[in-house]
Amino acid sequence: MPDATIKGLVPSEVQYDGSNLRVAIVHARWNKSIIDSLVAGAVGKLKERGVKESNIIVQSVPGSFELPLACSKVISASQAQASSTATDLLGGAASLLSLDPMRTASPAPGSTVVNMPSKPFDAVIAIGVLIKGSTMHFEYICDAVSHALMRLQMDSGVPVIFGVLTALTDDQALERAGLGRGENGAGHNHGEDWGLAAVEMGSHVQRWGAGKF
C-alpha cells in the first residue's frame, strides 16, 4: 500500500471559506457508478467549506472528450448571465430570460431552473472516468482532454479542477472513487479533493484579482 506521507494531497493549513463562491461541476456519464460517487464527494466537500447549495451547479455531457467545450460554455454562460442580470441558469440551451416581472420561465425538459445571484463561476470541476481498453482510444482522449482543460483555465482565468480519472483497470478507478472492492479496501474518493481544490483556488483567484496576497 502506498505511503500516505509521500503520496496524496497534504491538507491546507488554511480553512478556506466558500460561502461567497459559485462553483460548477461538469461531468461525463461514462462509467456512471464511479462518476456518481466522485460528484457526490466533490459536492459534499463544497458544502462542508460553506458553498451554498444554490451556488453549486451540476451539468452533464456524454463523455470526457466533451468536457472542455462544456466547461468553456458554462464559464461563458455564467459571465453572460452576470452581465445581463438574468435569473435563469443554463435552462436547457443556456437561454437568458428578460426581467419582465409578468413573465414565467418554462424550463426545458431535464433542466433545473433556479434563481441565482448574477455572479460568474469562481471555479469549475471537470469530472470524467477514462479506463484503458484494448485500443489507443484511451491515450488519445487522455492527452486531448488534459491539454484542453489546462488551456481553458489559462485562457479564461477561471480555475478548472482536473477531475478526470485516467485508470488502467476498473479496480483502479473504483478505488479512486471510494468504491474499492479489493484487499486495499474502499480506497479514497478523489472527488473530495477536487471539491476542496475548487474552494481553495476560487478563493485564491478572488484575492489575487483584488491585488491581495
Residue 59 lies in a domain: yes
Tell me the C-alpha distance between 159 and 199, whole Å: 10
Residue 45 lies in a domain: yes
**pLDDT (mean) for 195-200:** 98
Which pTM value belongs to this model? 0.83
- The count of residues in the chain is 213
Residue 121 lies in a domain: yes
User: What is the tens place of the pLDDT at every residue in 199-211?
Assistant: 999 999 999 999 9
User: What is the tens place of the pLDDT at every residue in 141-176?
Assistant: 999 999 999 999 999 999 999 999 999 999 999 999
Tell me the C-alpha distance between 171 and 155, whole Å: 35
Q: What percent of the chain has pLDDT over 90?
A: 74
**pLDDT (mean) for 23-28:** 98
**pLDDT (mean) for 20-44:** 98
Structure confidence at residue 4 (pLDDT) = 53
Of the residues 137, 147, 188, 190, only one is catalytic, namely: 137
Residue matched to cell numbers 463523455: 63
CATH code of the domain in which 129 resides: 3.40.50.960
Structure confidence at residue 100 (pLDDT) = 47
Residue 127 lies in a domain: yes
Residue 103 lies in a domain: no
Residue 28 lies in a domain: yes
The DSSP annotation for 141-200 comes to HHHHHHHHHHHHHHHH-S-EEEEEEEESSHHHHHHTBT---BTTBS--BHHHHHHHHHHH
Structure confidence at residue 85 (pLDDT) = 53
* pLDDT band, residue 177 (cuts 50/70/90): very high
Average pLDDT of the chain to the nearest whole number: 86
Residue 101 lies in a domain: no
Residue 3 lies in a domain: no
* pLDDT band, residue 86 (cuts 50/70/90): very low
Q: What percent of the chain has pLDDT over 70?
A: 81
Domain span holding position 80: 23-94+111-209
Among residues 68, 197, 186, which one has the least CA distance to residue 128?
A: 68
137 given a catalytic annotation: yes
Overall number of domains in the chain: 1
Structure confidence at residue 9 (pLDDT) = 77
